[in-house]
């Protein structure tokens, strides 16, 4: 079979949904994608080295808030979704999505070990007429520079024998409006044929596919999206620091500025940025830019400003306690919300972690409430959530509102707390005498 015939055969099977998909990495990106495949009637194999995730899926249990357990149970019962930690199952797959983490090393250099390990497993079972799509966020050039050599050393030519593309994940945990199904899917292949095949894969499952000319363009798209947010959050955080010095309410400033119907997009200050993407992705971009002799000072400065916000919050805690002639050392401080954003359980890179560590170093007696995170075990912090109640609020010398979950009763917070440091403006208009805003 020639490469063109192979492409045509795979394209035809993709359009008929007569193929087997594999998804490596069953986290916030991979599991929703696997469920969408199954929902479209496609056989999908979910692969993850975490045995607990495999067991949960086999039992029809979801561990991700946006995916109901019923969807998992239905897909498993229909024989459309099966989970395993055995990579040999890749031999059965016609398409493979790599959805593994891409953290940074302590030196802020990209850590591609998860991608490389997954690709090595794919290479063991790669076969003619297979499509591989990398979805893990990474620097421009990764797909062509890292994956192409690994696969072509097996004697298969990318664009002729096998097809390789990059498609950035755009998951927004906790967003009920935009999901894997309806978020436009950008896809760029190593070759035009690769783009065509990858677009056909997603076109049969998702609502809107946007092909671009090259894999590196698609890789850059993801970094631009999250760097855009990082820089604008950095800007508004700096404005917040400036307004604090000037005695100006930054929240009132933003509310007024956003009445302009053109040329302005509101961003809001906060205790820091969290999640897997926004705190990390700009560093992928600046690291790659340095290889071309380009120094991305603007992007890196935004990272510095955002990284200072937990320290600023701790300073505000000190100001709040000073009102009752207390110090942070020995004070009972209750943190409301430890997830990185409202209404989810994800604590990756959450600013609450930095705030807890900083307060602990100053001798504070810490507790937290978060209905989505019953146990916190991150970065050396091991705590169980306290029940949110009037009594818990009254016991605290200072309450720090870090994550503004809708579940919290903010009238109760305003009424029962001795003093509150509100980093999200959740207590807007409530009991200003004991509320200290960011």
Catalytic residue ranges: 277
Residue 37 DSSP label: H
Pick the closest to residue 197 from 81, 112, 95 (CA basis): 95
Report yes or no: 315 and 355 within 8 Å, Cβ to Cβ. Answer: no
Report yes or no: 343 and 410 within 8 Å, Cβ to Cβ. Answer: no
Tokens of 176: 């009920």
Contacts for 204-208: CB closer than 8 Å, 24+ residues apart: 204/14, 204/15, 204/17, 204/40, 204/42, 205/36, 205/37, 205/40, 205/42, 206/36, 206/180, 206/181, 206/182, 207/181, 207/182, 208/182, 208/183, 208/184
Pick the closest to residue 404 from 422, 388, 386 (CA basis): 422
Report yes or no: 425 and 437 within 8 Å, Cβ to Cβ. Answer: yes
CA distance 282 to 139: 9
């Amino acid at each position: 079979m020639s490469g063109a015939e192979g492409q045509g055969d795979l394209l035809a099977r993709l359009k008929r949904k007569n193929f087997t998909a594999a998804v490596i990495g069953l986290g916030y990106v991979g599991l929703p994608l696997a469920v969408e495949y199954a929902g479209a009637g496609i056989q999908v194999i979910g692969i993850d080295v975490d045995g607990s995730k495999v067991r949960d899926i086999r039992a029809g249990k979801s561990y991700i808030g946006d995916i109901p357990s019923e969807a998992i149970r239905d897909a498993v019962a229909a024989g459309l979704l099966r989970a395993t930690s055995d990579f040999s199952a890749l031999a059965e797959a016609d398409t493979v999505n790599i959805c593994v983490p891409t953290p940074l090393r302590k030196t802020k250099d990209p850590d591609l070990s998860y991608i490389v390990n997954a690709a090595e497993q794919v290479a063991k079972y790669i076969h003619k007429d297979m499509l591989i799509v990398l979805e893990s966020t990474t620097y421009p050039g990764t797909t062509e520079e890292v994956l192409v050599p690994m696969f072509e050393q097996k004697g298969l030519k990318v664009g002729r024998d096998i097809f390789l593309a990059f498609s950035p994940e755009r998951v927004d945990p906790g967003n009920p409006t935009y999901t894997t199904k309806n978020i436009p899917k950008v896809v760029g292949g190593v070759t035009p044929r690769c783009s065509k095949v990858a677009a056909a894969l997603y076109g049969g499952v998702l609502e809107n596919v946007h092909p671009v000319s090259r894999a590196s363009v698609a890789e850059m798209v993801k970094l631009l999206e999250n760097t855009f947010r990082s820089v604008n959050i950095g800007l508004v955080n700096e404005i917040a620091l400036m307004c604090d010095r000037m005695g100006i309410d930054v929240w009132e400033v933003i509310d007024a500025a956003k009445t302009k119907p053109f040329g302005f997009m509101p961003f809001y200050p906060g205790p820091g940025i969290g999640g897997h993407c926004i705190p990390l992705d700009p560093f992928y971009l600046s690291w790659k830019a340095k290889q071309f002799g380009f120094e991305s000072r603007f992007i890196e400065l935004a990272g510095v400003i955002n990284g200072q916000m937990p320290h600023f919050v701790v300073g505000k805690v000190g100001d709040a306690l000073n009102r009752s002639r207390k110090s942070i050392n020995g004070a009972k401080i209750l943190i409301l919300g430890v997830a990185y954003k409202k209404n989810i359980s994800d604590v990756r890179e959450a600013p609450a972690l930095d705030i807890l560590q900083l307060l602990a170093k100053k001798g504070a007696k810490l507790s937290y409430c978060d209905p989505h995170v019953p146990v916190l075990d991150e970065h050396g912090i091991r705590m169980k959530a306290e029940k949110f109640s009037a009594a818990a609020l009254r016991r605290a010398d200072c309450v720090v509102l870090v994550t503004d979950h809708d579940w919290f009763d903010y009238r109760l917070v305003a009424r029962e707390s001795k003093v509150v440091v509100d980093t999200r403006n959740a207590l807007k208009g409530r009991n200003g005498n004991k509320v200290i805003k960011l």
